[in-house]
Structure 1
């Protein structure tokens, strides 16, 4: 994809959404469950869509909320449900609808005391904390489309383990929600929102101070404070914006929020690579504002709207590649935490092979799983995994004592870890990365997208290793062709082809009419381009062989 001429520049008037029309569409437009694009559809991070496209409307939300109630009843989940929301425009009306449905169904609901914003990792931590000492299991819902553009909305369910729901759970909720929509919502119980807010079933709690009090279980704040690390923070208008001042004051760290604005149009954001507003803290275009301030701070950090992703900016290297920071975080944690030597490093199969080399170098077990943070949940919960990370800048790790911290991605701890690394080692994360690359090899990483219809996406999802007949890739012998992840033998939903110094993975998007190719070379960028070109040929051949 070519770079838009306005990428990295200030949003223009035509880039801004009409919030009034968007919210009106949420209430007034009626989706047709017989149209695929208008059905409830859970991807790797819940159901997402836009009211103007009839894919995230009131009907979707009340149906999903009712389906979650019924799932809880079937599973005997009787504890409280923690409800959070981010700063997208559609999150507010969706929050009100979810409250109305859950209270009407007799669910004990816990929300932020001022009905304000709550990040994803906070909901995860609340669930885990409650379930450590109660027989009545708690679960949660977070209303967020993550880093998606301002016109989008989203909702995701976290069961009692505190992490993203597994596929069998989301499939059940998705199916029931579509049944409810197909019968004109007749099975939905709803209470007037103002009445729901007065219900004894609704508890308002200070999530901000709870989470801040907990954070020192994961991060060495004493080291950060003692070293006087100067931290710049851009919340990108997200749900953690009111957490940072509380954290800074409580732990006595030198932290400045460089952008205190919350605006549901996100009009303050520089445009992303494609010329759209997108709160992607791993994009150098979306993070252009913070990158311009890199010399003002020892380390600068950003997060997406629900704070499950992280972006790290250093004086020495600017915005770090997410894969590079994952490797740095893993090496630091494995050499500075007193964790079990058998606890695994978890990575998704499209994350850098630098992590594979690192795990071998420090003699720690590695587990490679398919795309989706849900594959790390059980391991983080049990302590089998010390760390779980994705190339899309999402990760979490164990508490300092080796117990479970969160089972969902936590942008707070990943950004604060960057300051801890600098405080303890005297090296910022990019300097740390350069030392690792000098020892283990310099990776060149890329990702491309191509249009694919539903039939082509299905072929790619079901592709077997035997279907790949090529012997070489970019001049090297193919050593492995994978259709299942080696860490848990779960289906990739695509393929991965590996050589000595490179690899590619191809898989369809769960939400768009495209497929993605991820690739990496430990030789150079020319070799990477050859890998990507031949990967595209291999996928095209698979489509041709399938008669497409």
Structure 2
């Protein structure tokens, strides 16, 4: 039981630790939690494209059924946001998804999504962790049933309806889009939505490979070389889109910039939505202050929350926010399930680009609100040492960083040092990997590099 720990977005571990008996214990804990909470409806179970994911999903189905719950099991690996949408669409008690998202193939994971379709908050995951136990079984006559379901059609319809309500049309006729599934669960889902909208589609890595081509299904620039080359080599492709392994995140590639920083895409998205709507934005502590500048220009507030989309989702509900997002490429908008959705964002990004090239919108935003550059690095740190290192850092925060005074320290999630020149440096523990993240934002790349190296210099003596 000590091995099972729910981090930023569920429990993830290597297959040495992520074993069938432990997955079954999680299934039993969820069944007990739902029963204790008086939730009797069906439970959805989804899974990603990893070799072991279908088998783990079937194990969860058996445990839930033995506890009296009917199960809707995805007919194939599908994006996590499709499962979250199914909860609300079908009035389910909740869902379990077997996925390790962007982690390499030697990992797997499991996450529970409550009956509102939003990520589970710590009160829920703590309650589940408290109920970890060996599986139990009701008399066979009281067992539930398992039915395989295709979650794609209803989600696609909802995505089209929402994008049409925002843009006036989801027609992408005449737009050429290259889509990279990274061999993950977006294949046959995101590309199908784009094609349904009329886009001329070029597919990249849209075949299932449980090993993701030998790498991680992480849509970072260094992992999208083929997609970037396809969009930037004057081949006539207008836009590039990629999803991570379970397609809840998006990466965008434009003809002029190549890989479009997720912060800049978030800014473009919020600016676009504000053309015909009003509302606040929710961003994580690691996400650009450019969002705040855009909001201020429109008289709108911004809510800053810790890293983790569960906090974004909670704040969106509290304030009926127009949009919520994080610098790692996870976004959702008002009117949709409060879970990051890379399929929805693919269609919306393409519709935005069809209306006005994203490069032009970003150029205008930077000209209006000032240039913003952000980057991050990782410093290796065992999970067991993260708390100690951060405790030690609390007493080692300097008065200046990279020759600039530290004006304030935000401790909402790790330590965010706000500097006198308007730049900032953030150090926080990863919730999914044995590393500490170091983020920096400033007005140019040279300054960001200086801040990141200063952050590394603060951490390495403490690890």
**Normalised TM-score (structure 2):** 0.91
- Counterparts of 2:116 and 2:393, CA distance in 1: 32
Superposed counterparts of 1:507-526, under 5 Å = 507-522=428-443, 524-526=444-446
Cα pair 2:238 2:255 within 8 Å, conserved: yes
Q: List per-residue Cα deviations over 1:55-83 (Å, max 9, x = no partner).
A: 11101110000000011011111112111
1:58 corresponds, among 4, 20, 24, to 20
Aligned partner (choices 181, 191, 213) of residue 157 of structure 2: 213
Partner of 2:348: 417
- 1:12-411 equivalences in 2 (<5 Å): 39-51=3-15, 54-112=16-74, 115-131=75-91, 138-177=93-132, 180=133, 185=134, 187-189=135-137, 201-220=145-164, 223-225=169-171, 228-244=174-190, 246-248=192-194, 250-267=196-213, 277-281=215-219, 283-294=220-231, 295-336=235-276, 338=277, 341=278, 343-381=279-317, 384-399=320-335, 405-411=336-342
Correspondent of 1:445 among 374, 389, 403: 374
Q: 1:99 to 1:296 in 2, by over 3 A?
A: farther
Q: Secondary structure at the match of 2:105?
A: coil
Shift, 1:222, TM fit: 6.2
> Counterpart of 2:156 in 1: which secondary structure?
helix
Unaligned runs of 5+ in 2: none
> Is residue 81–residue 107 contact of structure 1 (8 Å, CA) maintained in 2?
yes
Q: Distance in 1 between matches of 2:343 and 2:19?
A: 30
Q: Tell me the number of residue pairs that the alignment of Structure 1 and Structure 2 aligns.
A: 457
What SS does the aligned partner of 2:339 have?
Answer: coil
Contact 2:72 2:148 survives alignment (8 Å)? yes
State the SS of the aligned residue for 2:212: coil
Alignment partner of 1:218: what SS?
helix
Shift of 1:97: 0.5
Please name the residue that 1:8 is paired with.
none
Aligned positions of 1:416-435 closer than 5 A: 416-425=347-356, 427=357, 429-435=358-364
Query: Aligned pair in 2 of structure 1 residues 540, 332: CA closer, same or farther (>3 Å)?
Result: same
Identify if the C-alpha distance between structure 1 residues 456 and 291 changes in structure 2 by more than 3 Å, giving closer, same or farther: same
Match of 1:22 in 2: none
Cα gap change, 1:76/1:479 in structure 2, threshold over 3 Å: closer, same or farther?
same
Structure 1, residues 380-422: CA drift from partner, whole Å, max 9, x if none? 44662211111111111113xxxxx011110012122221112
> In the alignment, which of 428, 432, 436 is matched to residue 365 of structure 2?
436
CA displacement, residues 332-390 of structure 1 (integer Å, 9 cap, x when unaligned): 11223x3xx3x320111011222222222232110010010001223444662211111
The answer to whether the Cα contact below 8 Å between 1:209 and 1:246 also exists between their aligned partners in 2 is no
Q: Provide the rounded CA distance (Å) in 2 between the counterparts of 1:463 and 1:251.
A: 53
TM-superposition CA deviations, 1:306-336 (whole Å, max 9, x none): 1101011111221111111111111111223
Contact 2:65 2:144 in 1 (8 A): no
Structure 1, unaligned runs of 5 or more: 1-32, 132-136, 268-275, 400-404, 485-491
Give secondary structure in 2 for the equivalent of 1:43: coil
Report the TM-score when normalising by structure 1.
0.77
CA pair 335-529 structure 1, distance change in 2 beyond 3 A: same
- Structure 2: how far apart are the matches of 1:361 and 1:298? 30
8 A Cα contact 1:234 1:303, kept in partner:
yes
- The runs of at least 4 aligned residues of structure 1 exceeding 6 Å deviation read none
* Distance in 2, Cα, partners of 1:536 & 1:332: 36
Report how far residue 125 of structure 1 moved: 1.3
CA distance in 2, matches of 1:481, 1:451: 23
Q: Taking structure 1 as reference, are residues 381 and 117 closer, same or farther at Cα in structure 2, changes over 3 Å only?
A: farther
SS at match of 1:292: helix
Deviation at 1:509, TM superposition (A): 2.5
